[in-house]
Structure 1
């Protein structure tokens, strides 16, 4: 069947999935608002919601009240992630990195304009970064996201910027220029950073994982409370995270990438107030 042949598509399923994706952008929806956003006939929308409710994927907060997705989707997501080949293949590398630095380690992938955490191994510290698997966050302000963007093909990067501007009215030319400036630096040094841009009190470092074609497929990062980020830990992170990402890339038989990382200079940036 030709790729553009939609003859066999089930329109009712297409509409139901669109409703689910729309509902996932907010915690709850009034029927009238959901109807306006989805532009689906009210009767059809009600049947979709009733079906999802019967199957346990949607619940009504109170009789006649707003609708919300249930944690059944979260359970499915965790099952999918747990069976993901990339997670299972990189589990030893991620665990080894966590053991070496004793800080939370994340494996993340790009989804639209966000990064999604597909696996995480937490540190043994009482004060730690702990995200739910499946958590998403803006790519353009996160260490993982900026790293992923740095190694996207140019066409994909332009598409990302276009979608980012469409979905976020705060993104102006100055911010776009700043994103490109950071991307250029990451391409040279092979590591991305955020300085509490995503979470207050947390700094993060990330490095790219490539496949056998040289395409970026994920990032490995470590999230560290700023109060614990001294010179010694910063240096260890800057050595071990790129090393773990390179090891992960070798698992996928990726070609070698040469970066120019001045650890001492970056350490001073990481520990600066």
Structure 2
């Protein structure tokens, strides 16, 4: 069973929480009087007035000249610049990855397809939470697609049109690590096996890191990966990563594949909700 993340041990700033709550009310109502905000909270009117005046003074809330109603200001839109769906996915997935790491002790990675469609991009990881010493890839790390567990999971479960586009892009690169896709029949057969199994593993020649081929670099890790799908479309993949010498793929699959799939399902439900 998945456990919920307990945040009760963390101290919070009460005044900030109240201010954000007021802004949420204004977002829901679009415009409101002081009394309407009061009715939507359990705060005293003087407290609400101070919050509104503070937010207005900082430029986050404005009061209409014609109707005197309080509204969130256009300044909020500026905070959204630079954010996209992958940021939302990472935000939603992070607590679930944390829980999975607590259950399995081994960490998880979350990656999405890069906009150039020749890499997977790491957008979140729980590698800092594991008690084991292993290589920690930074957020933004570009992951080889045809050799990595997450890349292979993505290709196996995405629709055929996107798969063909990605494979064609990979064929045009000069990377030796992408040459595997040129033998299309064998490679597609591997992807079909992944789809049947319900998870992907690393291709044996994959070594991780900046230089994907194990002949150039070996991070000593192994991984299994599953897709995250919304309405049938793959939007990313999560993996469970472990030190290769510590356990076989079969052992990890037997112990933790269900947990990994359940984590993906929890992310899908929350993201689609």
State the TM-score, normalized to the length of structure 2: 0.58
Counterpart in the other structure of 1:102 = 105
Q: How many residues align?
A: 175
Which one is further off, 130-139 or 151-160?
151-160
Does residue 215 (structure 1) correspond to residue 218 (structure 2)? The answer is no
CA displacement at 1:168 relative to structure 2: 3.1
CA displacement at 1:249 relative to structure 2: 1.7
What is the correspondence of 1:170-181 to structure 2 with a 5 Å cutoff?
A: 170=176, 171=179, 175-181=183-189
Is 1:208–1:216's contact at 8 Å kept on the other side of the alignment?
yes
Structure 2 counterpart SS, 1:228: coil
Which one is further off, 197-206 or 162-171?
162-171
CA displacement at 1:82 relative to structure 2: 11
Counterpart in the other structure of 2:20 = none
Counterpart in the other structure of 1:117 = 122
User: Quick one: distance in 2 between partners of 1:221 and 1:196?
Assistant: 18
User: Quick one: distance in 2 between partners of 1:115 and 1:181?
Assistant: 21
Structure 2 counterpart SS, 1:168: coil
Does residue 127 (structure 1) correspond to residue 146 (structure 2)? The answer is no
What is the correspondence of 1:117-196 to structure 2 with a 5 Å cutoff?
A: 117-122=122-127, 123-168=129-174, 170=176, 171=179, 175-194=183-202, 195=204
User: Quick one: distance in 2 between partners of 1:116 and 1:242?
Assistant: 20
- Cα RMSD (Å) of the superposition? 2.6
CA displacement at 1:155 relative to structure 2: 1.4
Is 1:82–1:88's contact at 8 Å kept on the other side of the alignment?
no
Structure 2 counterpart SS, 1:208: strand
Residues 173 and 99 of structure 1: is their aligned pair in 2 closer, same or farther, counting only changes over 3 Å?
closer
The structure number with the bigger radius of gyration is 2
What are structure 2's unaligned runs of at least 5 residues? 1-81, 209-217
Does residue 242 (structure 1) correspond to residue 261 (structure 2)? The answer is yes
Structure 1 counterpart SS, 2:245: helix
User: Quick one: distance in 2 between partners of 1:252 and 1:125?
Assistant: 29
CA displacement at 1:142 relative to structure 2: 0.4
Residues 130 and 81 of structure 1: is their aligned pair in 2 closer, same or farther, counting only changes over 3 Å?
farther
Residues 155 and 81 of structure 1: is their aligned pair in 2 closer, same or farther, counting only changes over 3 Å?
closer
Is 1:210–1:252's contact at 8 Å kept on the other side of the alignment?
no
Structure 1 counterpart SS, 2:146: helix
State the TM-score, normalized to the length of structure 1: 0.58
Residues 121 and 234 of structure 1: is their aligned pair in 2 closer, same or farther, counting only changes over 3 Å?
same
Structure 2 counterpart SS, 1:130: coil
CA displacement at 1:219 relative to structure 2: 0.5
